[in-house]
Amino acid sequence: MSEDGLKPVYDDQVDEEAYKRGPQYKWTKARKSDYKDGDDSNGEAPPEKKVKYEDKPLNDENGKPVEKERRLPKRKVAVMIGYCGTGYHGMQHNPPNLTIESELFTAFVEAGAISKANSTDLKKNGFMRAARTDKGVHAGGNLISLKLIIEDPQIKEKINEKLPEGIRVWDIKRVNKAFDCRKMCSSRWYEYLLPTYSLIGPKPGSTLYDTIEQGKQELPGVLDEDDESKQFWSEVDKDAREQFSEDELQTIKSYVPPPKDQFDGTDPTYHKVKRYKQMENLHRRQYRISQEKLKKFRSTMEQYLGAHNFHNFTLGKDFKESSAVRYMKEIKVSEPFVIGDAKTEWVSIKIHGQSFMLHQIRKMISMATLMTRCGCPTDRISEAYGPQKLNIPKAPALGLLLESPVFDGYNTRLEKFGYERIDFANYQNEMDSFKMKNIYDKIYKEEVDENVFNAFFSYIDNFDRVTGAKGEETVDKTGTSVQKSIFEFLSAKGIPSSAATNTDTSKKDTSEAPKEIPVATTGTEDESQVTPQEAEN
């Protein structure tokens, strides 16, 4: 017994300082609240706090005092959203530019989900996004986590009323206080829409076409013979000769657009060039891909499955950096479908990956498309995972959209705390209707109006003429660190040094994601440590 005789004293009793060194003492306040008895860990709301009023007086825009706002309790929530990225400078708040988050934040304030006292700073509400999509990139499903006032049962409807038609809230779900949608997101689905005419072989007479044909003569049997593309260009040539004389075709071929300040819209040569391009575009939109070519494209895309070193599919990554290794879980290429007034044929490519880097998906699509166009062996993609630096152009941002983030790993913990799972599949019908009206139709229309993909591949077919297509050896850069042209990769020779020294994980069993693969830190296609201004530009 102790000296006062009130309670026994034990030699092995743990003192307070020893307790403080234990793991539970180091828990954050948010994590403690998830396990604390009497809190909302069973899914029920915690006891209401007393209503407080701001001590600091508020003034309106004219400097006159306004009535103090009643402070209502805020709840940690996950807001499931979809949006069309056209006209926005990306997802992330980036004043003074118009962004998706700025529109959402304004709607939350106007709907009463965020108090006026907290309406000047996103950080006051713990604002975080699961995927930071960038300029012009759309999302059928994305998710943000923050603290909102959600006592009003009609709060979702009121928020949607304040939002433009191109941004929708699918649902608002309660989550535990420690929930961080960026860190808890286990993987992401992205979709890319590609017109099938993008898979037609290079135009005869272009630099890439000549490179491919020369390679076939030097090393016959390495590249596929693309009779389908030959037939397409033969029909274009036949149609052109019926509409234009030989002299006119030579004039059209040698035409160089003048500077903008010297452009003459009445120039007869310009109008002939315009008619010729319209004729070519009509043939492209009438093109229908064969099952054989579609199978080749699918097989090429499947080469990305598993864990690989994608240092060549982004910017600023070295072969030796562990963060360049990314894991692709699923890839699906749809059957072709014809849509729009122009009757263009498209395919949808869906990619499910653990995480992505800056421009990664756009470069993956570009590489697979170029390999199909040039008839390269499908397994040649493994050469791009090697140490040789390779210049891979990025496909247009127009066709890219975020399908949805996935929270399979963390959903188990949410259910343990008494909350509902986060699953975008529950809103698939709403998302599909929204995408068709606000995303797909805009993509199809812009492609027809601007000929985005035709312009891209016409540029690529003469890419080696452009400064910067390939690097030069310097004192600091030699060997594999010197960037090779994509044309060298696509030729019959390929880049054998890459295959010979390839030491990435593509040679290993990739049936499961290796533990050392880094989980995404920002959650966007084009996502590793990049600013909103950098990505997707």
Question: Would you state the pLDDT for residue 516?
Answer: 41
pLDDT, position 123: 76
The whole-number pLDDT of residue 213 equals 94
Please tell me whether the peptide bond between 259 and the residue prior to it is cis, using omega within 30 degrees of 0: no
pLDDT at 526: 45
Q: Taking the model in full, what pTM does it have?
A: 0.79
What Rg value do the Cα atoms of the chain yield, rounded? 29
The stretch 63-78 carries a mean pLDDT of: 77
How far apart are the C-alpha atoms of 352 and 113, rounded to whole Å? 33
Mean pLDDT for 216-237 is: 95
- The pLDDT value recorded for residue 496 is 65
320/317 Cα distance (integer angstroms): 8
Report in angstroms the alpha-carbon separations of 105 from 45, 113, 401, 480: 24, 9, 22, 47
The pLDDT confidence band at residue 316, using thresholds 50, 70 and 90, is confident
Q: Where are the beta strands (DSSP E) in 28-166?
A: 52-53, 58-59, 65-66, 70-71, 75-83, 128-129, 138-148
Range with the poorest average pLDDT among 13-22, 195-204, 228-237, 461-470: 13-22
Cα gap 507→442, rounded to integer Å: 41
Contacts of 333 (CB under 8 A, 6+ apart): 294, 297, 298, 301, 347, 348, 349
pLDDT attached to residue 36? 53
Cα separation, 402 vs 390, whole angstroms: 26
368 CA to centre of own chain: 17
* DSSP H helical ranges for 417-495: 428-435, 441-450, 452-460, 486-490
Phi, psi torsion values for 199, nearest 5 degrees: -95, 0
Q: Output the CA torsion 443→102→132→184 (10° steps).
A: -130
Element (H, E) at 346: strand 344-353
Q: Is the pLDDT score of 70 beyond 90?
A: no
| C-alpha to C-alpha distance for 183 and 407, rounded to whole angstroms | 10
In the chain, the amino acid numbered 130 is: A
- Active site amino acids: 134
- Residue of 477 and 111 predicted with greater confidence: 111
- Residue 190 labeled ligand binder: yes
The answer to whether the CB of 400 falls within 8 A of the CB of 362 is: yes
> In angstroms, rounded to a whole number, what is the distance separating the alpha carbons of residues 240 and 237?
5
Residue 155, phi-psi category: left (phi > 0), alpha (psi -120 to 50), beta (remainder): alpha
Q: Which two tokens stand for residue 219?
A: 């090393």
| DSSP bridge pairs for 58 | 66
Map out the domains of the chain as residue ranges.
Answer: 74-184, 196-243+287-404+451-467+480-494
Q: Is the pLDDT of residue 334 over 90?
A: yes
Terminal C-alpha separation, the chain: 75
Tell me which residue has tokens 């890839």. Answer: 331
Q: How confident is the model at residue 30 (pLDDT cuts 50, 70, 90)?
A: low
- For 429-476, the pLDDT digits (tens) are 999 999 999 999 889 999 999 999 999 999 999 876 655 566 776 667
Read off the pLDDT of residues 146-156 as tens digits, 9 standing for 90 and up. Answer: 999 999 999 99
Instruction: Give the pLDDT mean for 398-416.
Output: 89
% of the chain exceeding 70 in pLDDT: 77
Instruction: State the average pLDDT for the chain.
Output: 82
Characterize the bridge pairing of strands 400-406 and 138-148: parallel
**Measured on CA atoms in the order 278, 281, 285, 287, is the torsion positive or negative?**
positive
| CA 14 to chain CA centroid, nearest Å | 52
Most confident listed range (176-180, 310-314, 464-468): 310-314
Asked if 171 and 80 count as a contact pair (C-beta separation under 8 A), the reply is yes
Percent of the chain with pLDDT over 90: 54
Q: What is the reported pLDDT for 500?
A: 39
Of 92, 127, 95, nearest in space to 109 by CA: 127
Mean pLDDT, residues 44-55: 46
Q: How far is CA 62 from the centre of its chain?
A: 44
Q: What is the pLDDT of residues 491-536, one digit of tens each?
A: 998 886 544 344 444 444 444 544 444 444 444 444 433 333 333 3
